[in-house]
Amino acid sequence: MKPGPIGVFDSGYGGLTVLKEFAKKLPQYDYYYLGDNARAPYGSRSFDTVYEYTFECVNRLFSEGCHLVILACNTASAKALRTIQQKDLNRFDSQKRVLGVIRPTTEIVQQYTQTNHVGIFATSGTVSSQSYPIEINKFYPEIMVHQEACPMWVPLVENNEIANPGADYFVQKHVDALLSKSSKIDTIILGCTHYPILLNQLRKFVPEHIKIVSQGEIVANSLQDYLLRHTELESLCSKNAQITFNTTDFPDNFDKGASIFWGTEVKSKHILL
């Protein structure tokens, strides 16, 4: 079988915060990024719609030669990953794998909390799926999970409005709402791949003693570990240190928006699903 790039999928731009950490930690691999910008945001869509869109994109990544696909989107990981892993994967060749971003974070959350009270900021879809409380309590039943949906944060980030006072209003509103759920919260997980972009704004309103945990580095460490344990799949990951950016929307728009997440200019290609 021919080696191929590692597929990295998100509804739009957020997965770039994860891909950036992959490129830092595991620069030797090729990556094929796919942002479904034409149909983003996913955060408020139904379970069935998120599953259908995600599966279509995973299918496309497999056709592009990827053997391993990372859903670098919490909403897709919450609403589509399990069905794809349990129902769809056996229709492809047995080497294909799809992984998400929720499990790696929930596995190690205990390292961060002393009070056993953890807060989650995420999209409405991720919050209503209950994936974070379910996954965290599987490993650590003693941890209390407090969730807050922040439906305005993705549009603020995607429209490059985060440095404006209007953004502060929406950031503070959800920080206050989460912290009012328990005075014992000492750790907050950013359960949406867009949210690390808001870190400076969050730090203005989240008290200093509370840790804010972004997923990128955690997911990159987990991928490294996974590849070390699955040598047969690792050998199917091509290694020319190349990254290609692909979007279901207009590439010019993607390239402008992506620079907020990537830090430097990117040149994307349009793909039709």
Binding region for ligand DGL (CB under 6 A): 10-12, 14, 40-43, 73-75, 123, 126, 154, 192-194
Nearer to ligand DGL, 67 or 174 (CB): 174
3-state secondary structure of 169: helix
Amino acid, res. 223: L
The vertex-226 CA angle with 189 and 91, nearest 5°, equals: 100
> Which among 57, 150, 192, 237 is annotated as catalytic?
192
Q: What is the β-pairing status of strands 31-35 and 243-247?
A: parallel
Question: Annotated catalytic, 192?
Answer: yes
Catalytic: 73? Answer: yes
Please give the backbone phi and psi of residue 187, each rounded to the nearest 5 degrees, phi first: -145, 135
Catalytic residue among 57, 66, 73, 237: 73
Residue 100 contacts residue 18 (beta carbons within 8 Å):
no
Comparing CB distances to ligand DGL, the nearer of 68 and 127 is: 127
Residues 6 or more apart in contact with residue 65 via CB below 8 angstroms:
2, 4, 5, 32
The distance of closest approach from Cβ of residue 114 to ligand DGL in the complex, given in angstroms and rounded to an integer, is: 27
- Specify the residue, 4 or 22, whose C-beta has the smaller distance to ligand DGL: 22
Q: Cβ 183 to ligand DGL, closest distance in Å?
A: 27
Least distance to ligand DGL, CB of residue 8, Å? 12
Can you read off the two tokens belonging to residue 30? 């090729």
Min CB(236)–ligand DGL separation in Å: 26
Q: Which residues are catalytic?
A: 73, 192
